[in-house]
Amino acid sequence: MIEFKNLVKTFGTRTVLKGVSFAIAQGEILFILGTSGTGKSVLLKNLVGLMRPDGGEIWIDGEETSRFSEDEYLRVRRKVGMVFQQPALFDSFTVFDNIAFGLRRLEKLPEDQIRERVREALGAVHLAGVEEKYPPQLSYGMQKRVSLARTVALRPQVLLFDEPTTGLDPVTTTAVNQLIQELSRKLKTTSIVVSHDMNCALSIADRILVLDQGQIVDQGTPGELKKSQVPLVRDFLAEVLA
Amino acid sequence: MMVAALEKLGGGLTVGSKAVSEFIVLVAETMSEMLRPPFRWRDWLRQLHFVANQSLPIVLFCVCFAAMVTILESSFHMKMVIQNDSMVPGFASMLILRELAAVVTALLLTSRVGAGMTAEVGTMKITEQIEALQMLGIRPVQFLVVPRLIACVLGATILTLLASLVCLWAAQLVSEFYLGFTPALFLTAMRRFVSFQDLLFAGIKGACFGAVIPLVSCYFGFRCQSGAEGVGAATTRSVVTSSVAIIVIDFVLSFLFSFTY
Amino acid sequence: MTKVASSLLTDIGGCVLFFKDIMRTLIRKPCRRVDFFDQVWKVTVQSVSTTGMAGFFVGAIMTVQFALQMKEFGALGFLGGLATSATVREVGPLLIAFMLSGKVGAFTSAELGTMRVTEQIDAIRCLGADPLQEMILPRFLGIVVSSFFLLTLGLIMSIFGGMIMGAAFAGVNFEEYLRHIPTIVTLPSVLNGIVKCFVFALVLATICTYKGFTATGGAKGVGQAVVKTAVSTMVCIVIFDWLTSFLSDITVRVVLGAQ
């Protein structure tokens, strides 16, 4: 359903993505692993049009989207929801208004339905009764979950997670990872998770892709990856086993 | 209602007076630290280079434009009030020496140097670099504020004097090409209005403004709150406070100097 | 040297393109009225005290500087008129611009920069809203519109400051100070002041939203964006000050020539 073909992205003189090609099937949980600064987040941002590639194609449901205008991208963004690395909540809005923001703009739903959807989304991330609070009043882990709820409320077919567990303590990390798995299964969404956490990739991913220096160095199911001979993958695995 | 308003007012006053007293403590600490060794000559010079050398082009550029505007505007007013513009050079050079050069230089330094200092010290504060300095036995005020204060006082004085002269020169050129004053006419008219002491006073103004900028900037930098918005907010407050302080001090100095003319 | 020049040109070009984008958004999809009034109110309230205070002291400074010269020519009666005329035409708009650039310009670029580095702007786009329309346009218009209120306030305060200093310092009573204002401050002067104020506000609003919107790199990046905003607005305001003076002078000459 989503396919990247030979994607290239440069910043100034630095080429971050050097021809990346892969496809994702419906309902799959795909992990993209790699060290910091290898262009993992850039890959996601290209998919929803926050950045535009300098070469290659992006196919979503049989449409080549990388040349879309900003307005055409709104259609893509209704299908593809993104959870940012930081909570990226709007500080001047309450939690309710934060979650309702997309429902009002993208879906243009009536208010009573919005209320229903917000309640449902907060339920899905196991947070209830915080609707009237402001983001700074919540803990970082809770902000992360509200941010997840904001994206889930739009009922996207594809969920993108940009390093969802960076900066979280181990307990919250586990909770967030379980949440990702739970949401993907329950809502039957396709998920792409960008991360450098091999441990959780092995436990919840259907397929893992390893990115290094802007290129795919290895890919496969968790079982296949465990037997990989690529040095970077071995380094990642060594972390987990230790 | 009444009680709430009074409580709010009282709270505001408490916060305000606390801020003022903290500022005074910072000033006193800086003064005493300035006299205590070690004297970090190298830091002083590096800061001076940042304040003076690197601001020089931008300051001169701006005062030249300011000179042009002054000439244009004073010729407009002169023509209107006394129907001739023979006094323009004198009047313009008086404004340039007594107000314009010092204030424009100071305001530019506030935004370039002052804002930079707050952002720098604020970033150090929220990334715990200041605590790290203390752990290494280095006194933050001595390490951060003193070199900046010395550099700014010296730098602002020199820049103000240079800016005054370049601004006068630009004004002379503009009035020659635009209003047809020969250099001799310009200088004669100028001499009637201003004397050497005006340049001296400009230097004093520059030094005073130069002292305000680093003290206010470092004060807000030290009080910076954590997070991305903290540094931005501290910088904003520091620029505003310095600008207002400069205008108020300018008024006081102009008023004091006016008794000697 | 070439590096500095090319980055400067990139900056200027980016700013102009950004201004074009803002204008296009203004025409095609204007922001909600609530957001707009919200911003006008916020900007005005934020800057009222500083602008008023600065206006007061600038009026006082002008009077101190003019008084001695006027006395020499025996034209103390013109003191109020001249000081006010200079403030209306030149010093007032400049002062408002400097105060706004310190307060609102820096604040806006800090706010937008924070939203940028915490990915809030990306989130807005992902949730189907246009950040130019939702965030930039209200702030831009807010600064431009409220600059007029602040200009008026600053002028009134400067007349006030001038009056008090004139009485205390030069012995010009209030009535005499005010009497010549209407004869010297003419309509073209007022127009000149308004045009200047408008131009400065446009420049300031464009630069601070642009710098904030394009900030990168965490808390440090936000700090840098604010510093850059402060410096470039000051320089641009000085340049545009000359430009508007120059153009208005030419306009006056053309009009007079035609008559």
* Distance from the first to the final alpha carbon of chain C: 49
Measured CA to CA, the distance from residue B22 to residue B26 in angstroms comes to 6
Nearest alpha carbon to residue C226 among B122, B104, B140: B122
Q: Tens digits of per-residue pLDDT, A193-207?
A: 998 888 888 888 888
Whether residue A71 is contained in a domain is answered as: yes
Whether residue A149 is contained in a domain is answered as: no
Domain that holds residue A171: 2-88+158-241
- Return the DSSP state at A6: E
Measured CA to CA, the distance from residue A192 to residue C114 in angstroms comes to 27
Q: Tally DSSP H helices, then E strands, for chain B.
A: 12, 0
Predicted local distance difference test score (pLDDT) of residue B22: 83
Q: Which residues does C8 contact at the CB level (< 8 Å), separation at least 6?
A: none
Predicted local distance difference test score (pLDDT) of residue B1: 65
Measured between CA atoms, how close is C214 to chain B, in angstroms?
15
Mean pLDDT, to the nearest integer, of C223-245? Answer: 87
Based on its alpha-carbon atoms, the radius of gyration of chain B, rounded to whole angstroms, reads 22
Give the number of residues written for chain C.
259
Whether residue B29 is contained in a domain is answered as: no
Whether residue A147 is contained in a domain is answered as: no
In C182-210, which positions are buried (b, 16+ CB within 10 angstroms) versus exposed (e)?
eebbeeebeebbeebbbbbbbbbbbbbbb
Measured between CA atoms, how close is C66 to chain B, in angstroms?
9
Mean pLDDT, to the nearest integer, of C104-113? Answer: 88
Q: Is the pLDDT of residue B2 over 80?
A: no
Q: What burial class does residue B165 get, using C-beta atoms within 10 Å of its C-beta: 0-12 exposed, 13-18 middle, 19+ buried? A: middle
Mean pLDDT, to the nearest integer, of B68-79? Answer: 80
Which chain C residues are Cβ-neighbours of B91 within 8 angstroms?
69
What ipTM is given for this predicted complex? 0.81
Interface test with B, best of C62, C242, C248, C250 (most B CBs within 10 A): C242
- Return the DSSP state at C160: H
Q: Is the pLDDT of residue C162 over 90?
A: no
Q: Is the pLDDT of residue C166 over 90?
A: no
Question: What residue of B is the nearest CA neighbor of C217?
Answer: B228
Q: Tens digits of per-residue pLDDT, B24-38?
A: 888 888 888 878 777
Quickly count: other Cβ atoms within 10 Å of residue C246's Cβ.
Answer: 14
Distance of CA B6 to the CA centre of its chain: 36
Measured between CA atoms, how close is C94 to chain B, in angstroms?
11
Mean pLDDT, chain B, whole residue set: 84
Q: Is the pLDDT of residue B82 over 70?
A: no
Nearest alpha carbon to residue C89 among B52, B76, B205, A102: B76
Task: Look up the pTM and report it.
Answer: 0.83
Nearest alpha carbon to residue B186 among B89, B94, B92, B95: B89
pLDDT band at B161 (very low <50, low <70, confident <90, very high): very high
CA dihedral A123, A127, A130, A136 (to 10 degrees): -130
Whether residue A174 is contained in a domain is answered as: yes
Which tops the pLDDT comparison, B161 or C86? B161
Whether residue A148 is contained in a domain is answered as: no
Whether residue B147 is contained in a domain is answered as: yes
Q: What burial class does residue B62 get, using C-beta atoms within 10 Å of its C-beta: 0-12 exposed, 13-18 middle, 19+ buried? A: buried
Domain count, chain B: 1
Nearest alpha carbon to residue C114 among C7, C211, C10: C211
**Beta pairing partners, A81:** A159
Predicted local distance difference test score (pLDDT) of residue C7: 85
Domain that holds residue B174: 47-260
Predicted local distance difference test score (pLDDT) of residue A50: 83
pLDDT band at C64 (very low <50, low <70, confident <90, very high): confident
Chain A with chain C: Cβ pairs closer than 8 A: 51
Q: Is the pLDDT of residue A34 over 90?
A: no
pLDDT band at B128 (very low <50, low <70, confident <90, very high): confident
Whether residue B145 is contained in a domain is answered as: yes
Q: Do C123 and A74 touch (CB under 8 A)?
A: no
Predicted local distance difference test score (pLDDT) of residue A203: 83
Of B62, B107, B119, which has the smallest distance from its Cβ to C224's Cβ?
A: B119
Which chain A residues are Cβ-neighbours of C126 within 8 angstroms?
48, 50, 77, 81-82, 102, 151
Predicted local distance difference test score (pLDDT) of residue B160: 93
Domain count, chain A: 1
Whether residue B22 is contained in a domain is answered as: no
Q: Do C119 and A70 touch (CB under 8 A)?
A: no
Q: Tens digits of per-residue pLDDT, C33-53?
A: 888 898 899 888 888 888 888
Whether residue B20 is contained in a domain is answered as: no
CATH of the domain at A52: 3.40.50.300
Measured between CA atoms, how close is C218 to chain B, in angstroms?
6
E strand or H helix that includes residue A124:
helix A111-124
Predicted local distance difference test score (pLDDT) of residue C210: 93
Q: Is the pLDDT of residue A234 over 70?
A: yes
Question: What residue of A is the nearest CA neighbor of C122?
Answer: A50
Q: Tens digits of per-residue pLDDT, A92-141?
A: 788 998 888 888 877 778 888 889 889 988 888 888 888 888 888 888 88
Predicted local distance difference test score (pLDDT) of residue B162: 92
Instruction: Tell me if residue A207 falls in helix, strand or coil.
Output: strand
Mean pLDDT, chain A, whole residue set: 85
